[in-house]
Structure 1
Amino acid sequence: MTDSLPPVAIVVGAAGALGRFVALGLAHAGMTVVAVDRKADALELLPDAIRRKVADTTDPATAREVVDRIAEEIGAPRVLVNTIGTYGLGDLAETTPDQLGLMMSVNLGTALWLSQAAAPHMRAAGGGSIVHVAARHGLDPMTGSLAYSLSKSALVHLVRVLDAELRPTGIRVNAVAPQLLDSPFGRASFPPEVIAHAVAPEAVASVIVAVATDTSAPVSGAVIPTYGS
């Protein structure tokens, strides 16, 4: 670890469209960015100034291991941004136990385990900022994706619980809530008339960077809508 390094920011899911722009934005803001994703090839497309760790943080033990390793090798994280998520269709009649389990594990569990791993390092460093990516489905009742909506609703409540628990220790916890991103996944999954109302990932990333950094202090416990048109 080098004491002269700027504050360390961990961006999880950095190989995705949103995570990539978040990593670039935090680096532009002057932070030492560590990009984490399970897709090594996609991480290599990031600029050399951004450090990389290949890991699947949906696994609780791996989430803890990679955060601890970054803290030891580079420095205690002052920012954690988690963009990991998965999506699935299905109404009441179509929802299965396996689908609900997957949505809860990826969309809720990953956020919980990463927060649990990062918080002790942030407390020891005197504070920090955690940002998760929620969704409009977690705030407003919407049909057609029941398990996904439940998992994002649980994530929204997790953010508020973590705010109550961690704010006294100097750690801010917030979320942004897109409805639909104009990403390769979105364009492959939805018709053009739906994608026409999607939000560019770089626009959502700019909100995340503002919330994650001192620009937004002392905002905590917020779930910020980034719905688009």
Structure 2
Amino acid sequence: MSARVAIVVGAGGELGRATAQKLATGGFTVVAVDRNAEGLKELPDGIRSEVGDAADPAVAKVLVDRIAAEVGPPEVLVNTLGTYGLGDALDATPEDLRLMIDVNAGAALWLTQAVAPYMRDRGTGVIVHVASKPGLEPTPGMAAYGVSKAALVHLTRVLDLELRPLGIRVNAIAPDILDTAKNRPYLSPELMAHAVSPEAAADAIAFLVSDAAAPISGAIVPTYGP
């Protein structure tokens, strides 16, 4: 096993799986986490899987503590968790907003709280979250989603200010449209022509994790595609 442990959360989805494979190829010992056990089965041998809902703060801490004890303290956290929903601001319900905030912003906070002590003790660490273009630029028709991703963008910048003095870098990528099996049935060919593959987005994440990105912290990197 490598001494460099990376936790990839949301690894049951296409972006998470691509990221887990990319980091494993790059020499990390990767632990893939998702609440969807079936999605984790698509990962190649050599990548350890853990099933759990990291949007639950208690579960996030238990998962990270177990990984640290059994595999090693994490040097890298990549959080690709996210949920999506359409809806105008005037039609948004408390349930809509709560779900979007809990998954898109809350999970990022709970996971960061869980891994930060291990990174602080090592004096180094890298955290990458996945934001989105509507979190940077107001977009009609997805109010609750956009607000939750904007919260994640702001959280990433706050975490950078608080954790950078401890040697921990925190960044995010911000895709617009990802070319995934889940998205293709709902989006027009014109929109899909500008979509970014999960593998290309994973390349951006792998760069932010790498030593080549050592000067970069607090960045929200647009990954919008052509």
The TM-score bracket by the shorter chain reads: over 0.9
1: distance between equivalents of 2:96 and 2:128?
A: 25
Q: Is 1:40 aligned to 2:54, yes or no?
A: no
Mapping of 1:2-13 within 5 angstroms?
5-13=2-10
- CA offset digits 1:96-141 (Å, max 9, x no partner): 1110111000000000000000000111122100000000101111
Q: Is 1:126 aligned to 2:134, yes or no?
A: no
- CA offset digits 1:156-194 (Å, max 9, x no partner): 000000000000000000000000100011113222222
Q: Which residue of 2 aligns with 1:187?
A: 184
Contact 2:175–2:201, Cα closer than 8 Å, also in 1: yes
Aligned-pair identity in percent equals: 59
- CA offset digits 1:201-226 (Å, max 9, x no partner): 10010000110121210210000000
Contact 2:57–2:107, Cα closer than 8 Å, also in 1: yes
Contact 2:33–2:49, Cα closer than 8 Å, also in 1: yes
Q: Which residue of 2 aligns with 1:170?
A: 167
Q: Which residue of 2 aligns with 1:103?
A: 100
Q: Is 1:27 aligned to 2:20, yes or no?
A: no
Count of residues in correspondence between the two structures: 226
2: distance between equivalents of 1:130 and 1:114?
A: 10
Q: Following TM superposition, by how much is the alpha carbon of 1:6 offset from its aligned partner in structure 2, in angstroms? A: 2.7
Contact 1:82–1:131, Cα closer than 8 Å, also in 2: yes
User: Which segment is superposed worse, 183-192 or 78-87?
Assistant: 183-192
Q: Which structure 1 residue ranges, 5 or more long, are not aligned?
A: none
Contact 1:199–1:228, Cα closer than 8 Å, also in 2: yes
2: distance between equivalents of 1:171 and 1:114?
A: 14
Specify the code of the residue in structure 1 equivalent to 2:192.
I
Q: Following TM superposition, by how much is the alpha carbon of 1:45 offset from its aligned partner in structure 2, in angstroms? A: 1.7
Q: Which residue of 2 aligns with 1:53?
A: 50
2: distance between equivalents of 1:97 and 1:67?
A: 30
2: distance between equivalents of 1:40 and 1:134?
A: 24
Q: TM-score, normalised by structure 1?
A: 0.96
1: distance between equivalents of 2:186 and 2:208?
A: 29
Contact 2:3–2:72, Cα closer than 8 Å, also in 1: no
SS in 2 for 1:84: coil
Mapping of 1:120-159 within 5 angstroms?
120-159=117-156
1: distance between equivalents of 2:102 and 2:34?
A: 17
Specify the code of the residue in structure 1 equivalent to 2:217.
S
2: distance between equivalents of 1:44 and 1:125?
A: 32
- Ranges of 4+ aligned residues in structure 1 off by more than 4 Å: none
1: distance between equivalents of 2:210 and 2:147?
A: 29
